[in-house]
Amino acid sequence: MAITRRALFGAVAAMVCVGAPSVARSGGGLDDPDRPILAVKRGGVTLARFSRADLAAMPQTKIVTHTPWASEATTYEGPTVAAFLAGLGETGERFHLAALNDYLVTAERSLLTEAGAILAIRENGRFMAVANKGPVFVMFPFDADRRLQSQQYYSRAVWQLVEIDMS
């Protein structure tokens, strides 16, 4: 099933690329579902790399919420940070989350897991392209818990996440 879905979304992505500007099309490789896009490191040493397909194969959790970056409620899907870290078997308590735009933020494991953060790869049912916050967007259920509507959590909602460095 996962393979079928992956193939389907791959086809959809290819179709989108046809209509996209030439730079985007020529760089279609950025949105290749099998291209490793997320690196997990410890002290700078890479432990694992994940492709979008890998993340999509994990149990998915859906969050419907408003964010400061969208005018309407949006549906995000992806594995929970808790499940992702459990799958890694790593015990790091403090992470550096790095994004493609050189955004770097540190976060406690508990802050992410207790708030129910997910590594969103889909937005409103569609995989997020690199040009649209993808492929990974750390998302919190802001609407479900008012306490999350603060700078503390907004600053950890990292889009274009490329690296998780544990310490």
Residues that bind another protein (CB under 8 A): 21-24, 26-27, 29-30, 68-70, 100-103, 129-133, 149-151, 154, 159-160
Q: Which phi and psi (to 5°) does residue 66 adopt?
A: -85, 155
Give the nearest distance from C-beta 64 to another protein in angstroms. 18
- Residue 138: which of 167, 102, 114, 162 has the closest Cα? 162
Nearer to another protein, 92 or 134 (CB): 134
Give the nearest distance from C-beta 2 to another protein in angstroms. 26
Nearer to another protein, 4 or 151 (CB): 151
Give the nearest distance from C-beta 148 to another protein in angstroms. 10
Distance CA(73)–CA(91), nearest Å, equals: 34
Distance CA(114)–CA(95), nearest Å, equals: 15
Nearer to another protein, 8 or 144 (CB): 144
Nearer to another protein, 22 or 91 (CB): 22
Burial class (CB in 10 A: 0-12, 13-18, 19+), 121: buried
**Which sign, positive or negative, has the C-alpha torsion 150, 106, 64, 29?**
positive
Q: Around 159, how many Cα atoms within 13 Å sit in the side-chain half-sphere? A: 14
Give the nearest distance from C-beta 6 to another protein in angstroms. 21
Nearer to another protein, 89 or 146 (CB): 146
Give the nearest distance from C-beta 20 to another protein in angstroms. 9
